Amino acid sequence: MKSEVDFDDVQGIVRFGYGRLKGASYALARIKNLEAARSWLLSASVSTAIERNPPPATALQVALTVEGLRALRVPDAVIGAFSHEFVSGMTQESRSRRLGDLEANSPSNWVWGSSAKVPHLLAMFFAPPERLDSFKESSTGAVWNDAFEVNWLYTADLDGIEPFGFVDGISQPKVDWEQQRNMLEGQIDYGNVVALGEFLLGYRNEYGKYTDRPLVDADAATAELLNAEDAPEKKDIGRNGTYLVMRDLQQDVRGFWQFLNKHAHGDLAFMERLATAMVGRTRTGDPLVPIRREPISGIGPDADEVRQNRFTFESDPEGVSCPFGAHVRRANPRNTDYPGRPATLLSKVVTMLGFGPKGFRDDLISSVRYHRILRRGREYGPGLSPEDALGPAPSNEPSRGLHFICLNANILRQFEFLQNAWIANTKFAAMSGESDPLLGNRQAIWGCPVTTDFNIPKGDGVRQRVSGLEQFVTVRGGAYFFLPSLRVLRYFAQAGASNAKS
């Protein structure tokens, strides 16, 4: 049973990045007065995904951690039915190993998100920069102050450029809001349209199934909630909600450019080429492989989008144009369910049985459609051009970086898989001795003391290698949140109260 999305129930950030609203602040709040917290949550005017004309001038979004749900006294049975990752949290020891949150990245060093510093709630405020303060004031006020102890995170508008100096936020999956996609048909050609259920709970995902989420019996507390599509007798707590992953990624901009400059012996053009190879795009966002002649579903017709995104790495099997280890190639290898594009059923079966392409690099990387995320992060800290980054740091050097935010319906299969198998993995694409050139933690692994290389394949000759990469990005905080639908947010604000009484 397929139903249309009630956009008025979905928080706006799932559909829009609010890129037009260039001012943003994030409040990481811990509840100090439960009743006040409830009344703020009930009165907060949370922005929805309905398209308005003119678009709204401000936006407020709210997400909760598992600790937040507990603090609101949401019933244990409901909490326990959220995904294991959400319930156990980002800082679990075995999880840190998989995410690369070790040594300098270790949660014990985090400024927020570990042990006593786990927030209950994330409130995101978006407005034009000059209106941001007044919007925050009008949205918070006395009840807010009573309710929460707040750690404010600020963002910076760097005009679409991330702190290292590259155009950011280019590649995003297109959400199949109309639910037109046939997910069960094996994907032969790369597509950028991804099932709604990958980004919003309560709808079909890329397997054509409904991702697990809490389903409860109808009662007075849940009467207002929507029914589950796959279990109509149940109320769906997940429906129109999703998981929000947030990480504070501090970027050592001077360290990055000065390292490259040293490696390039001061040759600025060479330095730039190395940086480009590591990122996998030029600073202006152009890909390093040629644009494809044939269209890709979900990319275009906008000319910029075509120029920046209509490509796959099929045209570069040796990694000569874009190194295998380049950040964008790791973050989205753009491959499909089968290697070698088997067109007929017979050739698909042949491939499935293991008689497809047999080259060393064939069929090493998973099909990407199960591992996409919607990125919604914002930068922080003042901009610093690569040229200025080569100068010495002042004594009061501000920190710079990214408040990484992504949305996904299955943290384990989407964010964590991507971070673990593609970004942090020192063995990605059968390479050895390197991790993501930007995000890697550079830690030795058992049996491999060196993970600090970056190789640029040459095709007809020996690869060029950059050795001794330093750690350019340090994780300084993070948590898993649930971004509920508006109905469920109201339920959370009240359910605990009735729960406490009963």
Residue among 20 and 465 whose Cβ is closer to another protein: 465
CA distance 419 to 25: 25
CA distance 229 to 203: 8
Q: Least distance from C-beta 416 to another protein, angstroms?
A: 7
Q: Least distance from C-beta 363 to another protein, angstroms?
A: 6
Q: Least distance from C-beta 444 to another protein, angstroms?
A: 9
Residue among 27 and 456 whose Cβ is closer to another protein: 456
Q: Which helix (H) or strand (E) holds 38?
A: helix 34-43
CA distance 288 to 282: 7
Residue among 20 and 209 whose Cβ is closer to another protein: 209
Residue among 75 and 128 whose Cβ is closer to another protein: 75
C-beta separation of 241 from 6 below 8 A = no
440 φ/ψ angles, rounded to the nearest 5 degrees = -60, 145
C-beta separation of 401 from 105 below 8 A = no
What is the rounded (10 degree) CA torsion for 92, 89, 19, 165? Answer: 0
CB atoms inside a 10 Å sphere around CB 86: 23
Q: Least distance from C-beta 414 to another protein, angstroms?
A: 11
Q: Least distance from C-beta 339 to another protein, angstroms?
A: 8
Residue among 102 and 393 whose Cβ is closer to another protein: 102
Residue among 19 and 359 whose Cβ is closer to another protein: 359
Q: Least distance from C-beta 294 to another protein, angstroms?
A: 24
Q: Least distance from C-beta 180 to another protein, angstroms?
A: 20
How many residues are listed for the chain in this entry? 502
CA distance 175 to 164: 28
Q: Least distance from C-beta 365 to another protein, angstroms?
A: 10
Residue among 264 and 421 whose Cβ is closer to another protein: 421
Residue among 192 and 451 whose Cβ is closer to another protein: 451
For 42, 297, 335, the CA distances from 343, given in Å and listed in that order, are 54, 17, 15
- Residues near another protein (CB under 8 A) are 81, 84, 87-88, 92-95, 97-98, 207-209, 211-212, 318, 337, 351-354, 356, 358-360, 363-364, 366-367, 370, 410, 412-413, 416-417, 420-421, 425-427, 430, 432, 445-448, 457-465, 467
Token readout for 390 is: 């080569």
For 314, 360, 415, the CA distances from 356, given in Å and listed in that order, are 16, 12, 29
Residue among 258 and 426 whose Cβ is closer to another protein: 426
CA distance 190 to 203: 22
Q: Least distance from C-beta 206 to another protein, angstroms?
A: 9
3-state SS track over 353-408: HHHCCCCCCCCCCCCHHHCCCEECCEEECCCCCHHHHCCCCCCCCCCCEEEEEEEE
Residue among 301 and 461 whose Cβ is closer to another protein: 461
Q: Least distance from C-beta 233 to another protein, angstroms?
A: 19
C-beta separation of 299 from 306 below 8 A = yes
C-beta separation of 311 from 287 below 8 A = yes
